[in-house]
A and B are shown apart, each in its own frame.
Chain A
């Protein structure tokens, strides 16, 4: 049972705590924006601005989900914060949901900054397209929260930042978030089907008709299955922690 007042307080505390760590928030926000500026804007053709923006937006927005769960959970498992929660009557799901709230706020901050850059970089989306793309990317952070949670529960606090990067960067590259996936050999394009980020990208690209051509519902179905599977495994692992 989750008590609403307690949940709001938990989310607020988590948010305040995250955004007070300026040494973490500022670089973590600027990193994907700079990445977008260098590779998505400077090296982009005049006809691919929208395509690059959408993919780099997803890249930027899944970062906070992976890091907030992967790195923080590993740390909080190790230093005893998780133990204090387990000893109190609070539902463990409240802790996880509050982390989702905080990661979502962080993702939206990244989305705002990147969209601001996009406005000056030749991106031409209608407001509806723009909102839809952000909404899809935001929903897409869910499986990444689960993946981050799995990493956070599996490795030590010291190893977590490195392991999260080892997941984050290859995942982004291999899903075509940095370079168009059509530039990759065919086998690698098929491998991308295993990665949730690939399906998020394809779903978001469907708003500007720039997908590989597979039906939207197929990507949605695979993504939902992957999310559920990750949730299932993470839950088992969380109960054991």
Chain B
């Protein structure tokens, strides 16, 4: 598989301040969906702006589809949905779409763009009458108008209701099926989890694949078993030594890598109620890791 984006030894700082990105290396493959996680101010938007050619790194090399990011070649093949304040208020949705399609050599057919971004009900509306979620869908349509190979989605689901968000997810999956590279930033970890093939964590100026952070990836793969029972914690520890147990009154929580084994034992030996088993979500793993770090 060829690489869509290659960043090598990228550093970036605004005018002699503390560097935001420091010697960052990152390779994005064609046809994969990536999500960048990181606290506010970690440099997610800066990183995207570098990949878009809007910011020049202080040092390092950027290659997008084998070209300079600010080249016309990339402008034709890279789409971006940025966090925008607004567009001309009195322009209609269909006028925006036609205009941006006219900028590109091989645009997506308009009907397909409209159905992909679910814009059909408000094509005739001017920008100032759109809701927050509808605006986001329009921004997404503008990003996709040129049928790009690479799509950046910066906080795409901000302001979207549940239904809009589901449509957004569907659209991202469609893009993946079309072998496009998608890079999204989001505050919603479950969104990143649901959509991305690969999760990237941006921290202290470096970008790491989640799977390369064992403490986070391992926690994340664990399962969580919850139940209520009248038995004593000591009895449980006796029967199942070496487990990660948390007890609050009659509430028991076990974190484990071997849910099958533990469950079998639990059900055979004890009487338990309200059993609940779930994989630990990335959100919980991430929060527990960040808490552990700051504690």
With A17-B91, A88-B75 in contact, is A83–B102 under 8 Å at CB? no
A16's partner among B95, B142, B146 (CB-CB below 8 A) is B95
- For residue B86, which residues in chain A have a CB less than 8 angstroms away from its CB? 79-81
- Please provide the chain B residues from 68 to 95 with a CB less than 8 Å away from any CB of chain A in the complex: 72, 75-76, 78, 80, 82-91, 95
CA separation between A153 and B182, bound complex, in Å?
33
| Nearest opposing residue in chain A for B91, CB measure | A17
Are the C-beta atoms of B91 and A87 separated by less than 8 Å? no
Q: Is B52 an interface residue (CB 8 A)?
A: yes
Are the C-beta atoms of A83 and B84 separated by less than 8 Å? yes
With A84-B142, A87-B80, A89-B104 in contact, is A16–B91 under 8 Å at CB? yes
- For residue B98, which residues in chain A have a CB less than 8 angstroms away from its CB? 9
Q: Number of A interface residues at 8 Å Cβ cutoff, please give it.
A: 23
Q: Is B126 an interface residue (CB 8 A)?
A: yes
With A80-B82, A80-B84, A87-B52 in contact, is A16–B103 under 8 Å at CB? no
With A9-B98, A83-B82, A88-B75 in contact, is A17–B88 under 8 Å at CB? yes
Q: Is B100 an interface residue (CB 8 A)?
A: yes
Chain B interface, >50% SS class: loop
Are the C-beta atoms of A88 and B103 separated by less than 8 Å? yes
Q: Is B54 an interface residue (CB 8 A)?
A: yes
CA separation between A3 and B100, bound complex, in Å?
13
Are the C-beta atoms of A89 and B85 separated by less than 8 Å? no
- For residue A81, which residues in chain B have a CB less than 8 angstroms away from its CB? 84, 86-88
Are the C-beta atoms of B84 and A88 separated by less than 8 Å? no
CA separation between A13 and B127, bound complex, in Å?
13
Q: Which of A17, A20, A87, A90 has the most CB of B within 10 A?
A: A87
Q: Is B240 an interface residue (CB 8 A)?
A: no
- Please provide the chain A residues from 106 to 135 with a CB less than 8 Å away from any CB of chain B in the complex: none
Chain B 243-287 near chain A by CB (<8 Å), digits 1 or 0: 000000000000000000000000000000000000000000000
Chain A 87-100 near chain B by CB (<8 Å), digits 1 or 0: 11110000000000
A-B residue pair count with CB separations less than 8 angstroms: 69
Chain B contact-residue range equals 20 to 34
- Please provide the chain A residues from 39 to 95 with a CB less than 8 Å away from any CB of chain B in the complex: 76, 78-81, 83-84, 86-90
CB distance from B1 to the nearest CB of A (A): 26
With A9-B98, A79-B85, A83-B84 in contact, is A89–B90 under 8 Å at CB? no
Q: Is A182 an interface residue (CB 8 A)?
A: no
Are the C-beta atoms of A21 and B102 separated by less than 8 Å? no
- For residue B290, which residues in chain A have a CB less than 8 angstroms away from its CB? none
- Please provide the chain B residues from 88 to 134 with a CB less than 8 Å away from any CB of chain A in the complex: 88-91, 95, 98-100, 102-105, 126
Are the C-beta atoms of A88 and B90 separated by less than 8 Å? no
With A20-B126, A79-B87 in contact, is A88–B54 under 8 Å at CB? no
Are the C-beta atoms of A13 and B91 separated by less than 8 Å? yes
Chain B 25-60 near chain A by CB (<8 Å), digits 1 or 0: 000000000000000000000000000101000000
CB<8 Å pairs between A and B, sample of 29: A6-B99, A9-B99, A10-B99, A13-B95, A17-B88, A17-B89, A17-B91, A20-B126, A79-B84, A79-B86, A79-B87, A80-B83, A81-B84, A81-B88, A83-B54, A83-B82, A83-B84, A84-B142, A87-B52, A87-B78, A87-B80, A88-B75, A88-B100, A88-B104, A88-B146, A89-B72, A89-B75, A89-B76, A89-B103
Beyond known contacts A3-B102, A9-B102: 13 more, CB 8 A cutoff: A6-B99, A9-B99, A13-B95, A16-B90, A16-B95, A21-B90, A80-B84, A83-B82, A87-B54, A87-B78, A87-B82, A88-B104, A89-B72
9 smallest beta-carbon distances between A and B, as pairs? A80-B84, A79-B85, A20-B90, A6-B102, A89-B75, A90-B103, A79-B86, A17-B90, A88-B103
- Could you tell me which B residues sit within 8 Å of A by CB distance? 52, 54, 72, 75-76, 78, 80, 82-91, 95, 98-100, 102-105, 126, 142, 146
